[in-house]
């Protein structure tokens, strides 16, 4: 499967390569796993930045990979061979496509995706892995918090909250990740985006 180059790891936050799917393939940075696993969670901001405004306009994104969804208008977009990133400061949306043999389940996500996620990202704490029914069909939702990469200038890290959705159809897995500083109020906007996903 393709690696997912996560936009939240780019400046001011550095890059980490990760791919999560039903088969659980992963390519972490060499030698980074022990340090990441041992890292302690940073304290969330008391007044965290990252709220998506209620006035935010959402536009349709149509992927050449065979799906559509709504994304925030005006966010910086980076296209990749396997998907796209949409970033605004410390908030982001990442979509990635890979080919897999079977639909992900709660059991496969707990057995494969969660351990790999804990190895690949910083101070990960998974709080939920659930099967969800969305307009596009059944999916798996993984909820977790993690540390950001240290800022290249200040070395400061931010505690992030993340929601990862795994959509499957006809051997194709789309991974949608939504992230923001922990405590930011994005519940409605994240729900809008995850519910807007449609297969073409």
Q: d(Cα 8, Cα 74) in Å, to the nearest integer?
A: 17
pLDDT at 36: 65
The residue written with tokens 């208008």 in the block is: 73
Instruction: Give the tokens for residue 172.
Output: 């194709």
Instruction: List pLDDT tens digits, range 31-46.
Output: 455 566 579 999 988 7
pLDDT at 2: 37
Burial class (CB in 10 A: 0-12, 13-18, 19+), 32: middle
The mean pLDDT value of the chain amounts to 85
pLDDT at 8: 44
Instruction: List pLDDT tens digits, range 5-14.
Output: 344 443 333 3
Kindly give the pairing relationship between strand 67-72 and strand 58-63: antiparallel
Taking the domains of the chain in order of start, what are their residue ranges? 4-199
pLDDT at 177: 95
The confidence band for 15, taking pLDDT boundaries of 50, 70 and 90, is very low
- pTM for this predicted structure: 0.82
Whether the per-residue pLDDT at 101 is higher than 90: the answer is yes
Whether the per-residue pLDDT at 188 is higher than 60: the answer is yes
Q: d(Cα 132, Cα 142) in Å, to the nearest integer?
A: 10
Name the H helices within 51-186: 106-108, 114-120
> Cβ distance 65 to 82 under 8 Å?
yes
- The CATH superfamily assigned to 4-199 is Mog1/PsbP, alpha/beta/alpha sandwich (3.40.1000.10)
Least confident of 15-19, 111-115, 136-140, 157-161: 15-19
Selection from 37, 73, 67 nearest residue 55 by Cα: 73
């Amino acid at each position: 499967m393709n690696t997912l180059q996560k936009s939240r790891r780019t400046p001011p936050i550095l890059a980490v390569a990760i791919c999560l799917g039903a088969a659980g393939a992963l390519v972490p940075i060499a030698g980074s796993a022990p340090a990441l696993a041992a890292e302690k969670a940073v304290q969330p901001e008391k007044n965290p930045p990252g709220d998506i405004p209620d006035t935010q306009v959402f536009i349709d994104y149509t992927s050449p990979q065979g799906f559509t969804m709504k994304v925030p208008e005006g966010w910086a977009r980076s296209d990749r061979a396997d998907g796209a990133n949409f970033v605004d400061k410390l908030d982001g949306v990442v979509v990635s496509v890979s080919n897999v043999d079977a639909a992900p389940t709660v059991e496969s996500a707990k057995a494969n995706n969660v351990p790999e996620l804990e190895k690949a990202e910083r101070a990960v704490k998974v709080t939920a892995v659930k099967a969800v029914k969305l307009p596009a069909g059944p999916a798996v939702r993984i909820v977790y918090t993690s540390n950001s990469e240290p800022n290249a200038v200040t070395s400061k890290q931010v505690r992030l909250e993340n929601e990862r959705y795994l959509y499957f159809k006809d051997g194709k897995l789309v991974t949608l990740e939504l992230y923001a500083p922990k405590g930011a109020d994005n519940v409605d906007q994240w729900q809008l985006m995850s519910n807007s996903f449609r297969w073409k």
